[in-house]
Amino acid sequence: MKKKFLNLLNQPITNSYLKSIDKKNIKNEYFYNLSVTFNTKNFLVSLSKPVDPKKQYTDKYAHRASQSLTMQKAFSSVAKKLQNRFKPKLSMEIGSNDGVFLKNFDKKKIVAVEPCLNLARITQKLGYKTYPKFWNKSLANKILKNKKKYDLIYSANTISHIPNLKETFDSIYKTLSDEGVFVFEDPYMGSVLKMNSYDQFYDEHVHVFSLIAISNLLKESNLKVFDVDLLSTHGGSTRFYASKFNSKYKPSKKVKKLKSREIKQGLDKFLTYKKFAIRVKNSKKDLINLLKKLKAKGKKVISYGATYKSATIFNYCNIGSDLIEYVLDSTKNKQGKYTPGKHILIKPSQDSIPKDVDYAFLGAWNFLKEIKKKEIKFLKRGGKFITHVPKIKIISF
């Protein structure tokens, strides 16, 4: 049974930055209720009503995975690690974005799946076979027509975006070679609870995974988890290594350890999620109070990183340009546009945060290390960052 534990109110589609905020654009903006549920049978945490993927993954998709140096390094390192460990003859990536992972493979040895046309074109131009489609049963059948099976199927920040996981995993099972491995990484529910990072919930994150939930789901498709890595990416992610149920792979010590840690943390109990919802409400109160206090003192506050995550925060906390003057972002196709729902202007990042800014809210808090290094001048002249994880606090030099 699915039980609701969190209501993050009306939210827009996080990827739909507005070109202008004229009446027509504002009137046409799409909103839905973002509520989060816990499945008491398989322990999966999901949005109660996912948005239609066709509304989200369009030819105007803004996110570029290669924007951050941290992510570029992470993808190149995992690509090498997987090739060394599993020696795949043929690989596939589901959700290849702008090719940040793919680029580390021989063009003849990997194919890509990417439903956003603007992104699929990037990897096609680079010479990689890219299916500009959603991953589902019909695409799996089409791919299987060439009779080849895949030794490695990799997917980062995509599987958790797909509403129908049974179809997704069944289709992976069919496409995978008998001893093939399916490796996927997505934000981790254990970290969300620990960090109080409720902003991991937005339209694209239809599910937030735990090992116990994923093990239950994979089993239904004749797959199993044999290894797991805990990652710092996206504020805490898990990389699951899965294979066919009857393959040679045996669950590692790490799998057993994480399972017992999750049970200790209460990831299988509804009460754990109810308690989290209370912490979320308190976080909202504290953030609004802090921003109002700074405003009363005449401080200039902006936000750093026009992230999808911060769209959840701004809309849930009702924070607009009255409290956050503008957002800085290094992604070209976000610049000059307005944030979804609360319509805060996005300006291009410069060498350093402008001199008149006193505080910068960390919309991209998961890149704190990289940002601190880049913005050392800001911190040295007394500029401060605000973060909401694990609770509202100010970060100074």
Q: Which of 327, 331, 323, 310 is nearest to 389 (CA)?
A: 310
Q: How many CB atoms lie within 10 A of CB 251?
A: 15
Choose between 374 and 384: whose C-beta lies nearer to ligand TMP.
Answer: 374
Stretch near ligand TMP under the rule CB under 6 A, chosen from 42-50, 101-109, 121-129, 299-307: 299-307
Question: Does the protein bind ligand TMP through residue 118 (CB under 6 A)?
Answer: no
Using CB atoms, what's the residue nearest to ligand TMP? 305
Choose between 237 and 307: whose C-beta lies nearer to ligand TMP.
Answer: 307
Site for ligand TMP in 64-83 (CB under 6 A): 67-68
Find the shortest distance in angstroms from Cβ 349 to ligand TMP: 5
Question: Does the protein bind ligand TMP through residue 210 (CB under 6 A)?
Answer: no
Sole binder of ligand TMP in the list 200, 307, 312, 315 (CB under 6 A): 307
Whole-angstrom Cα distance, residue 204 to residue 48?
13
Sole binder of ligand TMP in the list 95, 305, 340, 383 (CB under 6 A): 305
Choose between 29 and 370: whose C-beta lies nearer to ligand TMP.
Answer: 370
Q: How many CB atoms lie within 10 A of CB 271?
A: 10
Q: Are 90 and 151 contacting, i.e. CB atoms less than 8 angstroms apart?
A: yes
Question: Does the protein bind ligand TMP through residue 371 (CB under 6 A)?
Answer: yes
Whole-angstrom Cα distance, residue 344 to residue 321?
5
Tokens of 21: 């905020």
| Per-position x/- string for 259-298, each x denoting binding to ligand TMP as judged by CB under 6 A, each - no binding | ----------------------------------------
Choose between 140 and 192: whose C-beta lies nearer to ligand TMP.
Answer: 192
Whole-angstrom Cα distance, residue 181 to residue 296?
56
Whole-angstrom Cα distance, residue 113 to residue 16?
22
Question: Does the protein bind ligand TMP through residue 97 (CB under 6 A)?
Answer: no
Question: Does the protein bind ligand TMP through residue 123 (CB under 6 A)?
Answer: no
Residues whose CB falls within 8 Å of the CB of residue 164, separated by 6 or more in sequence, listed in order: 136
Burial class (CB in 10 A: 0-12, 13-18, 19+), 300: middle
Q: Which residue is it, tokens 């919930």?
A: 201
Question: Does the protein bind ligand TMP through residue 209 (CB under 6 A)?
Answer: no
Find the shortest distance in angstroms from Cβ 62 to ligand TMP: 8
The size of the interface with ligand TMP (CB under 6 A), counted in residues, is 18
Report DSSP state, residue 57: S
Burial class (CB in 10 A: 0-12, 13-18, 19+), 187: buried
Sole binder of ligand TMP in the list 93, 98, 186, 329 (CB under 6 A): 329
Residues whose CB falls within 8 Å of the CB of residue 153, separated by 6 or more in sequence, listed in order: 91, 92, 93, 94, 172, 175, 176, 180, 181, 182, 183
Question: Does the protein bind ligand TMP through residue 374 (CB under 6 A)?
Answer: yes
Sole binder of ligand TMP in the list 42, 83, 104, 330 (CB under 6 A): 330
HEC sequence for 236-261: CEEEEEEEECCCCCCCCHHHHHHHHH
Question: Does the protein bind ligand TMP through residue 370 (CB under 6 A)?
Answer: yes
Question: Does the protein bind ligand TMP through residue 349 (CB under 6 A)?
Answer: yes
Question: Does the protein bind ligand TMP through residue 347 (CB under 6 A)?
Answer: no
Find the shortest distance in angstroms from Cβ 322 to ligand TMP: 22
Question: Does the protein bind ligand TMP through residue 229 (CB under 6 A)?
Answer: no
Find the shortest distance in angstroms from Cβ 161 to ligand TMP: 12
Question: Does the protein bind ligand TMP through residue 312 (CB under 6 A)?
Answer: no
Tokens of 43: 């322990």
Whole-angstrom Cα distance, residue 17 to residue 256?
42
* Binding-site ranges for ligand TMP (CB under 6 A): 63, 67-68, 305-308, 329-331, 334, 349, 364, 366-367, 370-371, 374
